[in-house]
Amino acid sequence: MENVSFSISKGEKVAVLGLNGSGKSTLFKILTGIIPPSSWVCKCMGYDPFSDRKRYVKNIGVLLGQKSLLIPELTVYDSLKLYKAVYQLNEKQLDERLKVFDEYFGIEKLLSRIVRTLSLGERMKAEIFMASIHDLSIFFFDEPTIGLDVNAKSAFKEFLLNYPFGSEKTVFIITHEFYVIKDFCTRILLLDNGKLKLDIETKHLKNKFGYKNLVIDFEGKPTKTTVENIRLFGYPIEIEKNSVKIKVPYENKEEIEEIRGILSKSLKRNFELLKIGVELSLRRLSYFRI
């Protein structure tokens, strides 16, 4: 890694984005004490994550989406009891935390299951709890939402936003799913070829790289004339059955409203208009190379 320098304040929620091979996993391993940095200094809460590893790891929760913390041949509950002993929790503390966590993820029905019989989504729910079982200061997540359905992903965000086990925690998360972090993380680090290319607040990232899809749903297939009229606005469009999407840069909010008004009037003459709405998207991550 080269020229990677940043600091994170207590309670911040930071996401790391980047293409495969950009250095995300290397940075993650350095911050969690798995490997040492080759030529630069890393400090977390006053610790050197690698040389002070034994003391340091008591203060962090780590989840690696591709590598399980659970023991395959044990039940989920027995795996949890093993970690309970490692972090010196008593039975009451474990059960209280399980009860609260169950309200978010419905984990209770999984406790008697053998780990190797779980689906990926079920395993990830147990992994998230495992990473948060003890009193910690920082969460490190690497692809924590792999296998989770939409409801579970929303529960994941709510769990961290309203963290029920003590004070608000610092969160460092690697993900390819902007949906997961766009309303949760306040800051984004963008890596490319081992270099930190961007360190930006999430709201500014949306303004800089985002666009809005103006979505028009109507009864019947759009005619060639209708499509040509829509193209006159000069923006890329996508047509799917009875839906048209116009990609308008995020910052052009006034123009979005203008286009919506014009299309609403013109389309009503020939079609039964079902809906005109706006949804936010981001360009592909590869477009972020700067």
Q: Quick one: pLDDT at residue 193?
A: 86
Helices (H) and strands (E) in the chain, counts: 10, 10
Residue 67 per-residue DSSP state: B
Say what the pLDDT of residue 216 is: 59
| CATH number, span 13-193 | 3.40.50.300
Residue 75 has a pLDDT of 96
Domain extents for the chain?
A: 13-193, 210-288
Distance CA 237, CA 215 (A): 10
Q: How far is CA 212 from CA 6, 182, 215, 273, 283, in A?
A: 30, 14, 9, 20, 10
Give the per-residue pLDDT at 284. Answer: 41
How far apart, in whole angstroms, are the C-alpha atoms of residue 167 and residue 151?
Answer: 25
H helix runs in the chain, sequence order: 24-31, 53-56, 76-86, 91-105, 120-131, 150-161, 178-181, 202-209, 224-231, 253-268
pLDDT for position 2: 80
Please tell me the pTM assigned to this model. Answer: 0.71
**Tell me, what amino acid is at 142?**
D
pLDDT of amino acid 176: 75
| 210-288: CATH architecture | 2-Layer Sandwich (3.30)
pLDDT tens for the chain, 290 residues long, are 787 899 999 989 999 988 888 889 999 999 999 999 888 889 999 999 999 998 999 899 999 888 888 999 999 999 999 988 888 888 898 898 899 999 999 999 999 999 999 999 999 999 999 888 888 889 999 988 888 888 898 899 888 888 877 777 899 999 877 777 777 888 999 888 888 988 988 877 766 665 555 565 555 566 677 667 667 767 777 777 666 666 666 556 666 666 666 666 655 555 544 444 545 444 444 434 43
Do 210-288 and 13-193 fall under one CATH topology? no
In this predicted structure, what is the pLDDT of residue 87? Answer: 86
Judged by phi (left if over 0) then psi (alpha if -120 to 50, else beta), residue 18 lies in left
pLDDT at 32: 93
Provide the angle, in degrees to the nearest 10, between the axes of the packed helices 91-105 and 76-86.
Answer: 130
